[in-house]
Chain A
Amino acid sequence: HLVVADLKELPVGGSTLSLFTNDKGGIEDDTIITQQQDSLYVVSNAGCADKDFAHLNKHAKIFQDQGADVEVRKIEDHSLIALQGPSAQKALEQLAGIDLAQMAFMTGQTVDIAGVPCHVARSGYTGEDGFELSIPTGEVVGITARLLENPEVKLAGLGARDSLRLEAGLCLYGSDIDATTTPMEANLVWTIGKRRRAEGGFIGADVILPQLAAKGGERRRIGLIVEGAPARAHAKVLSADGEEIGEITSGVPSPSLGKNVAMAYVRKGFNKRGTPLKVQVRNRIQEATVVKMPFVAANYHKI
Chain B
Amino acid sequence: MLSVLRTARVRFAPAARRMAFRSFVTKYTESHEWVRIDGDTATIGVTDYAQNALGDVVYVEVPEANTEVEAEDVVGIVESVKSTSDIYSPLSGTIIEGNANVVANTKLVNKSPEADGWLFKIKFSDKEQLDALLDATKYKQLIEDGH
Contacts and interface: CB of A to CB of B under 8 A. Distances in A.
Contacts of B59: 228-230, 253
B56 A255 contact: yes
B58 A230 contact: yes
A281 to B, nearest CB: 9
A282 B79 CA distance: 12
A181 interface: no
A253 B58 contact: yes
Contact of B82 (A159, A228, A282): A159
B105 to A, nearest CB: 12
A163 interface: yes
Given A229-B59, A230-B58, A230-B59, A255 B81 contact: yes
A159 B56 CA distance: 12
Contacts of B61: 229
Contacts of B82: 159
A103 B134 CA distance: 60
A228 B77 CA distance: 12
A252 interface: yes
A138 to B, nearest CB: 33
A229 B58 CA distance: 8
Interface residues of A, number: 10
Interface in A238-261: 252-253, 255, 260
A163 B77 contact: no
Given A159-B55, A253-B58, A255-B56, A229 B77 contact: yes
Looking at chain B's contact residues, the main secondary structure is: strand
A252 B77 contact: no
A230 B82 CA distance: 10
Contacts of B58: 230, 253, 260
A253 B59 CA distance: 9
Interface in B38-87: 55-56, 58-59, 61, 77, 79, 81-82, 84
A253 to B, nearest CB: 4
A255 B107 CA distance: 13
B79 A229 contact: yes
Nearest to A252: B81
Given A159-B55, A228-B59, A230-B59, A253 B81 contact: yes
A61 B82 CA distance: 44
Contacts of B81: 159, 163, 230, 252-253, 255
Nearest to A163: B81
B57 to A, nearest CB: 10
A255 B81 CA distance: 8
Contacts of A159: 55, 81-82
Contacts of A260: 58
A252 B81 CA distance: 7
Nearest to B59: A229
Contacts of A255: 56, 81
A253 B82 CA distance: 9
Interface in B98-142: none
Interface in A256-274: 260
A228 B55 CA distance: 18
A228 B79 CA distance: 11
A180 B104 CA distance: 41
Given A159-B81, A229-B61, 13 more contacts: A163-B81, A228-B59, A229-B59, A229-B77, A229-B79, A229-B84, A230-B79, A252-B81, A253-B81, A255-B56, A255-B81, A260-B58, A282-B77
10 contacts: A159-B81, A159-B82, A228-B59, A229-B59, A229-B61, A229-B84, A230-B79, A252-B81, A253-B59, A253-B81
5 closest A-B pairs by CB: A253-B58, A229-B59, A159-B82, A253-B81, A229-B79
